[in-house]
Amino acid sequence: MAPRRGSSAVSLIFLWSIAVPAAPRAQDIPPDVESSAILQDQASARSWAGERLGDAVGKALLSSEQFYKMRLKALAKPVRAEELRAAVLSQDGVRQIQQMFDRVMEQRLLLGSKVVLAEIGGEATLDGTVRFNEVVDRTRPVRQLLARARDDEKEIARLYAAHPREMREIDEGDALRNTLERLARIRAKGRSEEFVRNLVRGAVDTVLEGSGNSYIYSFEALMETLSRKEWSGRYAGRWHLHPPVFLASGGWEAGEGPSGADLELARSGGRLVISFQLDGFDVYDLDGLKNDRSARIDYSKIRKISHRSPEWARHFKTQHWILERQLAATAR
């Protein structure tokens, strides 16, 4: 949809021009594909704010401009690999990453005897220390609602009506929708209501397990994040993490490294993939792949930052025990 124009938009442009210092000069910014994309996003951010003028407009405008100025400046003076490594492996960096995995576990979905941990992601900045600023996947709250309505076909239908975009992204292959559309024919064949509930529950579990393996980064979610905080320091790149897999037999299965899709995304600016390990984590710095248009991925350009500690292993062993107790209580 094209940005709306009018008196509000004119006022917005005037407010922006007097409230925010000038962006970096064009000659200070490398002329590449990424800078063009950032400038386009910056223009979209101004349109987004213009459509939501209100009491907090000044703060939203300033925060958005701070963020996009950071990104543009980073093209002229990017965060070096050794700076990033030092920040990630600092005490504060390790603490933040542990807290992110804790948060993923707090937001878990319990599906019968299964635990589904979803990916999260956002934007990283460097300001004395690294900051992993989360941009919340807009499908997350809908996934929580869908998990609570696992065998309630009427509530699931209401979710499709109330959240059509999010449900399309969760049920990407239409497996759940197709199941719901078949229920009338299945009942006509004399199947029991217990059979129908199990069928719906199985379809819900399948789509939630599948959609949990991806993180959806959206412009709208980014704008909501930008409007809630001030931005400072240097832009370090977009990040997302790969959580562990809960094993009912005991323990965790380590998170995966960068997927093929992650590597392709890195060519246009996605920088960091954080992977859970049993006794620590691996951070894959994919910045070396940026703007690489060769036919094959050059894996020698990928840098890996690793942290290992017995404290980490003990902490997440305790987290596993807590989840085991919750599953046992749910089963009773």
pLDDT in the model for residue 52: 58
Q: What is the mean pLDDT of residues 231-237?
A: 91
Residue ranges per domain, the chain? 7-76, 81-137+217-331, 141-211
SS (H, E, C) the chain: CCCCCCHHHHHHHHHHHHHCCCCCCHHHCCCCHHHHHHHHHHHHHHHHHHCCCCCCHHHHHHHHHHHHHHHHHHHHCCCCHHHHHHHHHCHHHHHHHHHHHHHHHHCCEEECCEEECCCCEEEEEECCCEEEEECCCCCHHHHHHHHHCCCCHHHHHHHHHHCHHHHHHHCCCCHHHHHHHHHHHHHHCCCCHHHHHHHHHHHHHHHHHHHCCCCCCCHHHHHHHHCCCCCCCEEEEEEEEECCEECCCCCEECCCCCCHHHHHHHCCCEEEEEEEECCEEEEEECHHHCCCCCCCCCHHHCEEEEEECHHHHHHHHHHHHHHHHHHHHHHC
Q: What is the mean pLDDT of residues 132-136?
A: 94
pLDDT level of residue 214 (50, 70, 90 thresholds): confident
Model-wide pTM > 0.85: no
Least confident of 89-93, 158-162, 262-266: 262-266
pLDDT in the model for residue 21: 42
pLDDT in the model for residue 11: 37
> How confident is the model over 10-61, as pLDDT tens digits?
333 334 443 444 444 444 555 566 677 777 776 776 666 666 555 556 677 7
Mean pLDDT, rounded, of the chain: 85
pLDDT in the model for residue 331: 64
